[in-house]
Amino acid sequence: MFLVKDNPPEQGFSLELVGINSGKAMTNAQRWIMHMDMDAFFASIEQMDDPSLKGRPVIVGGGHRGVVSTCSYEARRYGVHSAMPMSEARRLCPQAVYVRPRMRRYAELSARIRELLGQFSPLVEMASVDEAYLDATGLERIFGSVERMGWQLKRAVTEITGGLTCSVGIAPVKFLAKISSEQRKPDGLFLLAPEDVSAFLHRLPVTDVPGVGRHFAAALSALGVKTCGDVLRYSEDFWARRFGKAGLSLWDRAMGVDPRPVVPWAPPKSESAEVTLDEDTLDRELLCTWLMRHAERVGASLRRAGLAGRTVTVKVKYADFRQVTRQISLPERISSTAAIYEAARTILDGMELAGSVRLIGLRVSGFEDGPPVRLSLLDEEDTVHDERRRGSLDTAVDALRERYGRNAVMRGRLFATMGGKDREKAASQEDKAESRRIRGA
């Protein structure tokens, strides 16, 4: 448990709490979900790390995507917001301080927060880099009340991060907890008690319900449906017939129903990358180039997550859609781009191509605990020496790419052999992977 000195919990975890989600021991207990979301996360970190930025409009963004990642609340007053083109932000708020994202620093603080949250509840779901759901059912017994738990959590987050604030929402179900955490932003706490849910929903704009996008909202507006209260003017049947699953889900939400449990984060079992080529090919050099590109992507993900794997798999799909996979298990775990590439290359070299290839993929799996070590296809001393060099090369490349964008640094092999079209394709794939990652998917 995380102990706040001046507010000690009355007791430790009791055995009863183990079965929080089993639905048995707790049938009569009020279900509580807590949602915490960091305030202007990237921008607040920049302000914390450079105190001269405090109180000033700070806009984090740029790089290859050319959009605003986020901005400080001071900049939001000028109408700047996430995903806005940087050029528009500059027009709206030319006096702001513009900062490039430092993903590694943000990830480090995110991991620290995740670890802390695990001391508040056994069920924590990191929903993105800066937000999490905690199942708080039954925990009022430990903290005095679920609201006190929320305040303690806020204080602990500030302490552990060195000064960042978050906002907390507490409600009986997930989507209401998320909406609640937005009610008192920044640095706020909002508790939606079960007896207040119905009045809260009655006024709640449907556009605030997660999952209601622009198109759905327009269709709802045409029906005169602006709030969750309006949703209930039509029958459940109507919603099912008219909008299918989305309609039923909206009806549920308008009734305050959201059965989704808090699903704790589990480490990935593997990391992979693959590409379907624009044209089928027999060219081994081109395939190797893609393996290098995959090794870079997979290696960078592994290193970011602090993982390393012993098994490397290459997947090849032929023009006639037949698919083969070949894998090797290494004596030690690897995460460096060079080691992953070497292993993949060894596999490809040993494969006879049965026709032209339409897809080539690479996967690293077999993660276990312990420090990442390397490919020992080389003898021991060389391995250590070589991997140290590889490690520092990877660190340098990761740092440069973080700072100047994914395509700022290309290994010689890629630069020499990859045509402009392929290069663009590789870049756009990485953009997609990057945005998935940022969204926390």
Asked if 202 and 227 touch (Cβ cutoff 8 Å), the reply is: yes
Q: Report the partner that residue 125 touches, choosing among Mg ion, ligand DCP, none (CB closer than 5 to 8 A by kind).
A: none
- Told to check if 130 binds Mg ion by CB under 5 A, we report yes
**Burial class of residue 302 (count of CB atoms within 10 Å of its CB; 0-12, 13-18, 19+):** buried
What are the CB-based long-range contacts (under 8 Å, 24+) for 281-290?
A: 281/356, 281/357, 282/353, 282/355, 282/356, 282/357, 284/348, 284/353, 285/417, 286/417, 286/422, 287/348, 287/357, 287/360, 288/345, 288/348, 288/413, 289/413, 289/414, 289/417, 289/418, 289/422, 290/360
> Among 20, 35, 36, 42, which residue sits at the site for ligand DCP (rule: CB under 6 A)?
42
Shortest spacing between CB 44 and Mg ion, in angstroms: 9
Q: Catalytic residue at 131?
A: yes
Q: Report the partner that residue 129 touches, choosing among Mg ion, ligand DCP, none (CB closer than 5 to 8 A by kind).
A: ligand DCP
Q: Report the partner that residue 82 touches, choosing among ligand DCP, Mg ion, none (CB closer than 5 to 8 A by kind).
A: ligand DCP
Nearer to ligand DCP by C-beta: 83 or 354?
83
Neighbours of 119 (CB within 10 A): 14
Cα 322 to chain centroid distance, Å, stands at: 34
Shortest spacing between CB 274 and ligand DCP, in angstroms: 25
Nearer to ligand DCP by C-beta: 23 or 205?
205
Of 38-46, 134-142, 191-199, 273-281: span binding ligand DCP (CB under 6 A): 38-46
> Among 33, 37, 65, 178, which residue sits at the site for Mg ion (rule: CB under 5 A)?
37
Residue type for position 291: L
Catalytic residue, chosen from 46, 131, 147, 296, is: 131
Q: Report the partner that residue 438 touches, choosing among Mg ion, ligand DCP, none (CB closer than 5 to 8 A by kind).
A: ligand DCP
Q: Report the partner that residue 161 touches, choosing among Mg ion, ligand DCP, none (CB closer than 5 to 8 A by kind).
A: none
Shortest spacing between CB 174 and ligand DCP, in angstroms: 16
Shortest spacing between CB 31 and ligand DCP, in angstroms: 24
> Among 9, 17, 36, 37, which residue sits at the site for ligand DCP (rule: CB under 6 A)?
37
- Told to check if 166 binds ligand DCP by CB under 6 A, we report no
> Among 148, 185, 304, 413, which residue sits at the site for ligand DCP (rule: CB under 6 A)?
185
Interface residues with ligand DCP (CB under 6 A) are: 37-42, 69-70, 82-83, 129-131, 185-186, 438
Active site residues: 131
